[in-house]
């Protein structure tokens, strides 16, 4: 088990290094520069580039960058008068993380319920209803859902505050909007897996032993249907935490998603790299956790893993 985990950790570090290098090179290809005032004379531009070390040869810049990264120094933002990127990320990340985590909780609970109902009431009206909801949840994009939810539930009906992040209640509507996609995916998975499990022999045996339906579902069916969910929940969480761009913009929430796109638009090199590395760490970490979870749950994977 230890050997397996260590191998996976080393793997993760290598992947992160490759991502860091690739991102850096891609950014050199980005047209334009962080300093773009037409009022900028060539002399002023030269001064600024000297100040930020942008006039050094590429290899020097690259080595400096990797060195800093290894020490956890993500550099300073170009658009916010040299404020450290790490500071900006740390200020905003908890906001996005909270929204995402809440959305996962809401979405998983909602999705599980929908999926269970769909599977148990297979081929009934309830099943078709939940399937329809699931499809809509996946298909309707967030930039439609978010403004709609905000307009009707916040501005018109006044149930939720329309914008900003001043209290927990402010986070509920944005999290709900994010949770819709989560719930839809979870519902679909749960329903499919449960249907398969419900047809298994041991379930028939449990029923024939006289266990009531609820007990059967709770003790046997759900636990065995959960394993495939591990596959999607972990990357889904990472994507949620980072993909809150639309929701953060519409609800005027100061998170990391909207900051990321803005930094690409204005060529804020350090911010772009910092945020990309952050997201990469999330993804790599979540796959690492997932691999370890599988290793715990299913020993055969560990054994097979050892072989290569």
Q: Which of residues 267-296 bind other proteins (CB under 8 A)?
A: 267, 294
Task: Name the minimum Å distance from CB 161 to other proteins.
Answer: 9
Q: Is 265 in the site for other proteins (CB under 8 A)?
A: yes
Among 183, 184, 233, 250, binds other proteins (CB under 8 A): 250
Q: Closest CB to other proteins among 61 and 249?
A: 249
Measured from the Cβ of residue 264, the count of other Cβ atoms closer than 10 Å reads 14
Segment contacting other proteins by CB under 8 A, of 98-106, 122-130, 176-184, 272-280: 98-106
Q: How many residues bind other proteins (CB under 8 A)?
A: 76
Dihedral sign, Cα of residue 231, residue 225, residue 244, residue 282: negative
Q: Closest CB to other proteins among 88 and 114?
A: 88
Among 38, 59, 72, 210, binds other proteins (CB under 8 A): 38
Report which of 256, 270, 260 is spatially closest to residue 83, judged by C-alpha positions: 270
Segment contacting other proteins by CB under 8 A, of 16-24, 132-140, 176-184, 264-272: 264-272
Q: Which of residues 107-136 bind other proteins (CB under 8 A)?
A: none
Q: Is 220 in the site for other proteins (CB under 8 A)?
A: yes
Q: Which of residues 137-156 bind other proteins (CB under 8 A)?
A: 147, 150-151, 155
Q: Is 94 in the site for other proteins (CB under 8 A)?
A: yes
Task: Name the minimum Å distance from CB 133 to other proteins.
Answer: 25
The pair phi, psi for residue 25, each rounded to 5°, is -65, -40
CA gap 300, 184 in Å, rounded: 31
Report which of 139, 141, 135, 240 is spatially closest to residue 191, judged by C-alpha positions: 135
Strands (E), 70-198: none
CB-CB contact of 251 with 145 (8 Å): no
CA gap 105, 149 in Å, rounded: 19
CA gap 186, 190 in Å, rounded: 6
Among 20, 69, 74, 88, binds other proteins (CB under 8 A): 88
Q: Which of residues 66-85 bind other proteins (CB under 8 A)?
A: 77, 79-83
Tokens matching residue 200: 């298994």
Note every long-range contact of 217-223, with CB atoms under 8 Å and residues 24 or more positions apart, other chains counting: 217/116, 217/120, 221/194, 221/197, 222/116, 222/194
Among 19, 23, 64, 228, binds other proteins (CB under 8 A): 228
Q: Which of residues 164-203 bind other proteins (CB under 8 A)?
A: 164-168, 170-171, 197, 200-202
């Amino acid at each position: 088990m230890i050997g397996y985990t260590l191998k996976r950790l080393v793997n993760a570090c290598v992947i992160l290094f490759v991502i860091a290098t690739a991102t850096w090179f891609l950014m050199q290809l980005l047209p334009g520069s962080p300093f773009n005032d037409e009022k900028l004379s060539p002399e002023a531009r030269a001064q600024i580039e000297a100040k930020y070390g942008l006039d050094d040869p590429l290899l020097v810049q690259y080595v400096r960058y990797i060195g800093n990264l290894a020490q956890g120094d993500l550099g300073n933002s170009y658009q916010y008068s040299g404020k450290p990127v790490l500071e900006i990320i740390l200020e905003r990340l908890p906001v996005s993380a909270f929204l995402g985590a809440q959305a996962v909780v809401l979405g998983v609970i909602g999705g599980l319920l929908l999926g269970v109902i769909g599977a148990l009431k297979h081929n009934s009206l309830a099943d078709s209803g939940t399937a329809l909801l699931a499809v809509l949840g996946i298909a309707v994009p967030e930039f439609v859902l978010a403004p709609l939810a905000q307009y009707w539930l916040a501005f018109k009906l006044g149930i939720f505050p329309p914008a900003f992040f001043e209290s927990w209640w402010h986070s509920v509507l944005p999290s709900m909007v994010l949770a819709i996609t989560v719930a839809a995916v979870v519902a679909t998975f749960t329903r499919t897996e449960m249907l398969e499990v419900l047809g298994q022999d041991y379930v028939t045996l449990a029923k024939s032993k006289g266990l009531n339906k609820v007990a059967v579902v709770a003790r046997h069916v759900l636990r065995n249907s959960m394993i495939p969910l591990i596959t999607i929940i972990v990357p889904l969480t990472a994507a949620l935490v980072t993909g809150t761009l639309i929701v953060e913009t519409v609800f005027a929430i100061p998170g990391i998603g909207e900051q990321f796109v803005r930094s690409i638009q204005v060529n804020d090199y350090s911010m772009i790299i910092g945020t990309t590395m952050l997201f990469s760490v999330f993804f790599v970490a979540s796959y690492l956790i997932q691999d370890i979870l599988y290793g715990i749950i299913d020993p055969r994977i560990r054994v097979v893993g050892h072989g290569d």
